[in-house]
Structure 1
Amino acid sequence: MLYKFKSRATADVIMLPANARQLLKIMGKDVAPPGIVTAAQIPAAIEALQAAIEAEEAAEREKGRTADAEDAHDEDGQPHTAIRLHQRAAPLIDMLRRSAAEGHDVIWQ
C-alpha cells in the first residue's frame, strides 16, 4: 500500500511504504494511516527531518564518502546509486514548509 500525503497547500506526495514509515518515525508520528501533522507540529517535524539528514551526512563523511559520490560501484561493477535520506525527504519537507506558510495541516492515508 502506498502512502499518500495530502495538504491544501500543495499537490499530493506519494511514497513507498518503507520510505514513508522511515520519515514518519523520524517525525515522531505513528506510521499507521491515517495520520496528521498539524500546522502547529510542522516546525518540529521539519527540524527532526533536517537533524536526521544532517546525522546521515555526518556519518557518511566520517566513513570517507560524500553524499554525491559517483565512483561507488556495487559488486558487479555497476555504478551504485543509493538514494539518500535528503533525497527521499525533500518532497515531504517542501510540502511541510508550504503547508506551514499557509497554515494547513498535512495528512496521510
Structure 2
Amino acid sequence: MLITFRSKAGGDVLMLAQHAQPLLQAAGKSVADGVPERGVWTAAQLDAAIAGLESAIAGADDPHAAHNQQDDPDQPVPHPVEQPVGLRQRAYPLLNLMRQAREAETEVDWETAAPW
C-alpha cells in the first residue's frame, strides 16, 4: 500500500506502508493495528514528531557501515543500488517535509492511496 505525506510547505512524499510504519511510530503515531488510513501532525505536534524521528535515526544501525567494510580488498565494490537502505535514508524526505512545515507553521498529513 502506498502512503502519501502532504503539507502546504513542501512537495508530497510517497512511501510504501511497510517503510512508513516505523517512521510513523518513531514520530509518535500509533501503528499497532497497521498504518492508519489517514492522519495528521498539527503544527503544535511537529516539534515532538521531529524529535522522535531524529532520536530513532540516531539509535538506528547504519547498514552501510557493515556493508562497506570488506574483508577482501580484491572484491569489487557493490553498486549503490545493491546496498541496503537504512532508516536514515528512508526518513530523510519525511523529516525534511516536517521541518519545512514547522517553519511555515502548518501541518503535515498523510493518507493511503485508493485501491485500484
Q: What TM-score comes out, normalization by structure 2 length?
A: 0.76
Distance in 1, Cα, partners of 2:20 & 2:56:
14
Report Cα offsets for 1:31-56 as digits up to 9, x if no partner: 30200011111111111111111111
Structure with greater Cα Rg: 2
- Aligned 1:58-97 pairs, distance under 5 A: 60=62, 66=65, 69=68, 71=70, 79=78, 81-97=83-99
C-alpha contact 1:67 1:84 (8 A) present in aligned 2 = no
C-alpha deviations, 1:81-107, integer Å up to 9, x for none? 110100000000000000000011000
Q: Which aligned segments of 4 or more residues in structure 1 are displaced greater than 4 angstroms?
A: none
3-state DSSP class of the match of 1:40?
Answer: coil
Q: 1:27 Cα deviation (Å)?
A: 1.1
Unpaired stretches in structure 2, ≥5 consecutive residues: 112-116
Structure 1: which 5+ runs fail to align?
A: none
Task: Indicate yes or no: 2:28 matched with 1:28.
Answer: yes
Query: What percent identity do the matched residue pairs reach?
Result: 37
Whether 1:11 and 2:5 are equivalent positions in the alignment is no
Displacement after TM superposition at 1:69 (Å): 2.2
Count of equivalent residues: 100
Cα distance between partner residues in 2 of 1:84 and 1:34: 25
Q: CA deviation at 1:78?
A: 8.8
Backbone CA RMSD of aligned residues: 2.6
Residue 60 of structure 2 aligns to a residue in which SS?
Answer: helix
